Structure 1
Amino acid sequence: MFSHPAHILAQGFGSGLSPTVPGTMGTLFAWLSFNIFSDRWPAFFTPWNWLLIIAIGFVAGIWACHITGKNLGAADHGSMVWDEIIAFWLVLVLVTPAGAQAQTAAFLIFRFFDMVKPPPIRYFDQRFKGGFGVMFDDIVAAFFSLLCIALWGSW
């Protein structure tokens, strides 16, 4: 992980190095860090600043995941979880304020879409490659998660 700065970011500061379910570990890291940062420094970690951090993180993730995938010999290596982190931060910032129960539901819904990759998520996962492809399919999973949460909330 420390052989290149891109690996640190792409592998979610080590959360992607879990021998089992690295994507889930990366999403849990996103959940924990979002809540710690938002609770500890609420004046800085406002929804608008989170959106800026997510946008910058998405662009940085394209670079980091491209480099890391190339160095690991797999375009979307399982240890790369920055895509889950950025996408789940997006889900959390758009459902905030949300209590623990709603955040748990958001976590489960996002993990479903990220793991199962139903159409059209699978289409984007297969169509776009490199760092952009790694990052983009999780943003689509975040969109479908948010859509489900919005539909659920409207009932």
Structure 2
Amino acid sequence: MWWRLKIAECCATGLYLGRSPVAPGTVGTLLAFPLAWIMLYLPLNLQLLCYVFLAAGLTLAASIWGVYLKDSDHRSIVCDEIIGILPLLLYFEAHLWFWAFLLFRIFDIIKPWPISWVDRAVKGALGCMLDDVLAGAIAFGILYGAALYMGS
């Protein structure tokens, strides 16, 4: 079923943004911005439901595409970046999105503990997704604390 592989590739690579020859993870992360903008028009319960379905569907796509490539965390797989940053974009106001993006990418790239531990310990598509979700959670905590401190 070639179409299943093509759909998985399209989803896992973030509509093929993961094929960017330069910084595919950063380029792929950008797809989360219009997605968040659309999701913000939904009530909170539907945003959460969409996020859960997206996370499950994109994990499946990453699994299928990763098996095909024989690398579950191939550089072209960028759907994990989308799932990792999306909660930040849905929670924080648009004027903080640059900082959300910057913090998320820093933590995703340098992978400090415990992100590095998850990256090594959890294999397959789940590990690919979880380290970015954790990078997003840490970025969320820092941005939330800064916003509280600054009174935003």
Task: Give me the TM-score of the superposition, normalised by structure 2.
Answer: 0.89
Which letter does structure 1 place at the counterpart of 2:116?
R
**Post-superposition shift, 1:46?**
3.0
Question: How far apart in 1 are the matches of 2:108 and 2:34?
Answer: 18
Task: Tell whether 2:104 aligns with 1:104.
Answer: no
1:3-14 equivalent positions in 2, closer than 5 A: 3-14=5-16
- Structure-1 residue corresponding to 2:27: 25
- Structure-2 residue corresponding to 1:76: 73
**Post-superposition shift, 1:33?**
2.9
Question: How far apart in 2 are the matches of 1:137 and 1:68?
Answer: 18
- Structure-1 residue corresponding to 2:108: 114
Question: How far apart in 2 are the matches of 1:116 and 1:105?
Answer: 16
1:1-155 equivalent positions in 2, closer than 5 A: 3-35=5-37, 37-38=38-39, 42=41, 45-95=42-92, 98-100=93-95, 102-155=96-149
Task: Give me the TM-score of the superposition, normalised by structure 1.
Answer: 0.87
The question of whether the paired residues in 2 share the 8 Å contact of 1:61 and 1:131 is answered with no
Which letter does structure 1 place at the counterpart of 2:94?
G
Question: How far apart in 1 are the matches of 2:98 and 2:43?
Answer: 21
**Structure 2 residues without counterparts, runs of 5 or longer:** none
Query: May I ask how many residue pairs the two structures share in their alignment?
Result: 146
Deviation readout 1:74-96 (Å, 9 max, x if unpaired): 1200000111111211111122x
**Post-superposition shift, 1:13?**
0.9
Question: How far apart in 2 are the matches of 1:90 and 1:16?
Answer: 20
TM-align CA RMSD = 1.5
SS at 1:13's partner residue?
Answer: coil
**Post-superposition shift, 1:63?**
1.3
Identical positions, percent? 32
Which letter does structure 1 place at the counterpart of 2:76?
S
**Structure 1 residues without counterparts, runs of 5 or longer:** none
Question: How far apart in 2 are the matches of 1:87 and 1:142?
Answer: 5
Question: How far apart in 1 are the matches of 2:47 and 2:83?
Answer: 10
